[in-house]
Amino acid sequence: MENAYIPFPSKVLDVIKHTDIEYTFRLEFTGDVKPGQFFEVSIPKFGEAPISVSGIGDHYVDLTIRRVGVVTNEVFEKYVGDSLLLRGPYGNGFDVDLYNDGETVVVAGGTGVSPVRGVIDALSQSADPQNKYAIVGFRSPEHMLFRDDLKAWDEKMNLILTVDGAEEGYQGNIGLVTKYIPDLPIKDVNTAKAVVVGPPAMMRFSVMGLLEKGFKEENIWVSQERKMCCGLGKCGHCRIGEKYVCIDGPVFNYTESKGLID
């Protein structure tokens, strides 16, 4: 019988440094994978941690990792040529095609940008990028991730880049992502779609803002972050109500997620 807990080694092809504590590791991987899915990344003897896919290529996946715990501290010691152990991909992920037609808004905050990076990328390359919006927020200019992508998105689609706070003299937008929702120039709120990913409070208030603007519940998707020890629907940590975030999610339609109370 197949043992799904056995990880496979994957070579580090590249390391992209965004901030002092946030790096993207490009890892060798061949197989089907979608934005919003995640891998269990492990350093044997230190442990495993669930990390979202932030980029997908023919023979690699990007994992953007913030140095915040035992495992991620060790991951940061790995550089090009070394190997990490992986299991996955797990979770349902985003169905990118769903957001290609008509008006779509992605609201993302902080490391929440990782799981939707592929979605925003696809939207920026869609047939009508003028109907695609991304509101992307970071804590400060120093915390910004994917700077090259942000530049490319800004050229192709409607990007609102904002920071929660910045030192005096900062030229860009300052304010929470929710500040920009009421003024989105949406033509038809009945059909417009929205994807929201970020810290719990940011997601709650962003969804509230979208609903107030007139977005339909069934047109809003969110991605949940929970402690996922196994990724296989066994360990129980990520359960909310009758759902297991690791196998039923992490992407949920809002009609489903609104009934999930931690």
Q: Which residues are annotated as a binding site for [2Fe-2S] cluster?
A: 230, 235, 238, 246
Told to check if 204 binds another protein by CB under 8 A, we report no
Please give the structure tokens belonging to residue 11.
């070579």
Of 45, 77, 171, 183, the one binding another protein by CB under 8 A: 45
Site string for another protein, 61-90 (x = CB under 8 A): -----x-xx--x------------x-----
Please give the structure tokens belonging to residue 256.
């489903």
Nearer to another protein, 46 or 174 (CB): 46
Q: Is 211 helix (H, G, I), strand (E, B) or coil?
A: helix
Amino acid present at 118? G
φ, ψ for residue 115 (rounded to 5)?
-65, -25
Of 102, 129, 141, 233, the one binding another protein by CB under 8 A: 233
Told to check if 172 binds another protein by CB under 8 A, we report no
Please give the structure tokens belonging to residue 164.
């929660």
Told to check if 200 binds another protein by CB under 8 A, we report yes
Stretch that binds another protein, among 41-49, 122-130, 156-164, 171-179 (CB under 8 A): 41-49
* Positive/negative CA dihedral, 218, 221, 222, 228: positive
Told to check if 166 binds another protein by CB under 8 A, we report no
Minimum distance between the CB of residue 86 and another protein, rounded to whole angstroms? Answer: 12
Choose among 206, 232, 231: nearest CA to 221: 206
Told to check if 7 binds another protein by CB under 8 A, we report yes
Residue 54: partners with Cβ closer than 8 Å, 6 or more residues away: 24, 62, 63, 64, 113, 114, 115, 117, 118, 146
Told to check if 229 binds another protein by CB under 8 A, we report yes
Which helix (H) or strand (E) covers residue 26, if one does? strand 22-28
Nearer to another protein, 184 or 238 (CB): 238
Which helix (H) or strand (E) covers residue 153, if one does? helix 147-156
Told to check if 193 binds another protein by CB under 8 A, we report no
Do 138 and 110 touch, CB atoms closer than 8 A? yes
Do 224 and 249 touch, CB atoms closer than 8 A? yes
Minimum distance between the CB of residue 61 and another protein, rounded to whole angstroms? Answer: 18
Minimum distance between the CB of residue 204 and another protein, rounded to whole angstroms? Answer: 13
Which residues are at the interface with another protein (CB under 8 A)? 1-7, 42-49, 66, 68-69, 72, 85, 199-200, 225-227, 229-230, 232-237, 239, 241-242, 244, 246-247, 259, 261-262
